[in-house]
Amino acid sequence: MIKLKLAYVYHPSSVSDKYHNQLIHYLSRFYDVTPFTNHESEIRKFESNFKDFERILYHLENSRNHRYIVNLVEKIPGVLLLHDFYLYNLFTPPYTEKIEMEEGLKGLIKLNYEGEEKTLKSLPLNMRIINNAIGVIYHSEEFLSLFEKFYLPCTENLHFIPLDTQNLDEQLHFTLEKIYEQDRTIQMLKAISELPIQSNKIEKTAFILARNRKKTLSKRVILVDCSVLVRHDAKTGIQRVVKSQLSWLTKLAPENTFIEPVYLACKKEYCGLMNAKKWGMQFFQLNFKEAEDELIFPEHNHLYYSPEVNYEGVISAYEAGFYHYLKLKGLKLAFFVHDLLPIELPNCFVPPLPKLHEKWCEIILKVSDLLICNSKATADAIKKFAEERGLLRKNIKIHWLHLGCDIALESHSQALTKQDQQTLKEVSSRPYFLKVATIEPRKGHSQLLKAFEILWQKGFDYNLIFVGKQGWLVEELIEYIEKHPEKNRRFFWLCHVSDSLLSHLYKNAIATIMSSESEGFGLPIVESAYYSTPIIARDIEVFKEIALDGAYYFSNTKNPEDLANDLINWISLYNENLHPKPNSIKWMTWQQHTEKLLNLLLH
């Protein structure tokens, strides 16, 4: 019986020669074995004559002497006999491109902050060479747990054969034949070789082959859609959430999970996802050569997550059928819902925003597998919206997750500029109440300012501080504020403040006032609780959900006199130290928030 020809490629050494000789002996029982070492003449001979061999076996170690095998496996696929799991010695500097290819953005962040040596030794750097091989044989039982830690392994391509097993020769033969029988690449190549493929179609054919080949190792990829943020950081509350989540996702994601910031690229009837490499390098302050953004090819192990409210992008992607395409590819789709305020309070928003928000909600309800809301109130609102429109599908999960809070570090206390120090001195000339919010119709600024006018008339000598930029539909209110007789005396409007100054304003305030008529969450509540600053909040469901009994609630009317009376009552309680304390308010850091977010996304 004629034996199949097998090429055995390895690097000889005094330490391993005994192993290689024994292995060749075992293989010779079943194959016509030709060994090839690292000598240049033998490598050239192998490259010229590899077609003569039905089986190819590479022995690979984490050694500089094995670097030539990396290129050989890429050009001439075969089976890897993997001696070491970590393969960092197979590569030469610069390591940036290699680490990015194997570990993505997380790897580059690690490289940037932990340095080259520590990063290299902590990463396997074996995914590309293993995926270029048609199968892997390994001798160490520990490897499987490492494969599962760092990857989503296709275990049918990974074969454990202990060195001390009985009938090692038969085990090797059985495993090699099994690998070659199962490998679809060999079957496809044989089939394609019979077809008359034009020379200009070879590249496309190779691309199709590569896209359809089942990888031995892959990673789960969370595609974080940052389309709006990539175009422009307007420093809105939503963008603050996106940046906090993205920062912690890169730190907390499991070893087998990539975090990839992306953006939608939609043109007419076509839509796709681009990785946001350029923006990511800037956002994470990575000092590497600037990379070009590239088109993402979605795969079944990818997960699409959109924490933004991107009207134009989401509507265009939906109309182009892009989200349906992702679902057909097997992707899980998740969106973060911040509020339904433009639908609930259309008169407080500029057209066509209410209609856009309604369409955005309808689309995400149609395509999502998972909706994550920032509060139970928001979750209840999106469920009600879905029920009213017949969009509450059985296979959509709707969860709620409160936002995190990391407004300031203690180091900020030393970070005030001279201008900030002067501002803080001026506003602290009297005990002051703080209102932190963009000036919008629904935020209750007008009622609050007029309530304080009543207090001042009655002899209550307190300052009122507004912190927040001008929003929309408030031109008359802004004119009233600018011409107010108490402006810069007992009333102050600070449009833009640093995190350092904001932390001081919270810490030194007599109380924070939450006068919004409606909110999706109410971040200043947890920010105030962070500093143990008392809270006076409008009596609405979302505030009671977050603050519980840790806030004083005033009547939900628009009458300034009602609010003034509630404030006088609170001041009386405060003077007796009987006011509600924020100590009972439970809040999370952004790290804790993102840990829960990851759990929702991955399960």
Q: What is the pLDDT of residue 267?
A: 85
Q: How far apart are CA 366 and CA 390, in angstroms?
A: 10
Closest C-alpha to 558, from 442, 461, 472? 442
Per-residue pLDDT, averaged over 38-59, amounts to: 95
Q: Judge whether residue 411 has pLDDT over 80.
A: no
Q: Judge whether residue 203 has pLDDT over 70.
A: no
Task: With cut-offs at 50, 70 and 90, classify the pLDDT of residue 293.
Answer: very high
Q: Judge whether residue 58 has pLDDT over 60.
A: yes
Read off the tokens for 232. 């422009």
Per-residue pLDDT, averaged over 389-398, amounts to: 96
HEC string of 68-127? HHHHHHHHCCCEEEECCCCCHHHCCCCCHHHHHHHHHHHHHHHHHHHCHHHHHHHCCCCH
Task: With cut-offs at 50, 70 and 90, classify the pLDDT of residue 152.
Answer: very high
Q: What is the pLDDT of residue 409?
A: 43
Give me the domains of the chain, ranges plus CATH numbers. 4-87+124-212 (3.40.50.2000), 219-404+594-602 (3.40.50.2000), 410-584 (3.40.50.2000)
Per-residue pLDDT, averaged over 244-264, amounts to: 97
Helix (H) or strand (E) holding 28: helix 17-28
Q: How far apart are CA 511 and CA 573, in angstroms?
A: 12
Asked which of 66-75, 202-211, 321-330 is least confident by mean pLDDT, the reply is: 202-211
Q: What is the pLDDT of residue 198?
A: 64
Per-residue pLDDT, averaged over 394-420, amounts to: 79
Handedness of CA 485, 486, 489, 493 (dihedral sign): negative
Task: With cut-offs at 50, 70 and 90, classify the pLDDT of residue 563.
Answer: very high
Q: Judge whether residue 349 has pLDDT over 60.
A: yes
Q: What is the pLDDT of residue 524?
A: 94
Is 256 exposed, middle or buried (CB count within 10 Å of its CB: 0-12, 13-18, 19+)? middle
Per-residue pLDDT, averaged over 310-323, amounts to: 96
Task: With cut-offs at 50, 70 and 90, classify the pLDDT of residue 591.
Answer: very high
pLDDT digits (tens, 9 = 90+) for 269-284: 789 999 999 999 999 9
Closest C-alpha to 378, from 533, 537, 540? 540
Q: How far apart are CA 138 and CA 87, in angstroms?
A: 14
Strand partners, 272: 265
493-515: b (≥16 Cβ within 10 Å) or e: bbeebbebbbbbbbeebbbbbbb
Task: With cut-offs at 50, 70 and 90, classify the pLDDT of residue 191.
Answer: low
Per-residue pLDDT, averaged over 299-321, amounts to: 96
Q: Judge whether residue 412 has pLDDT over 50.
A: no
Strand partners, 487: 491
Per-residue pLDDT, averaged over 549-567, amounts to: 98
Q: What is the pLDDT of residue 251?
A: 96
Task: With cut-offs at 50, 70 and 90, classify the pLDDT of residue 257.
Answer: very high
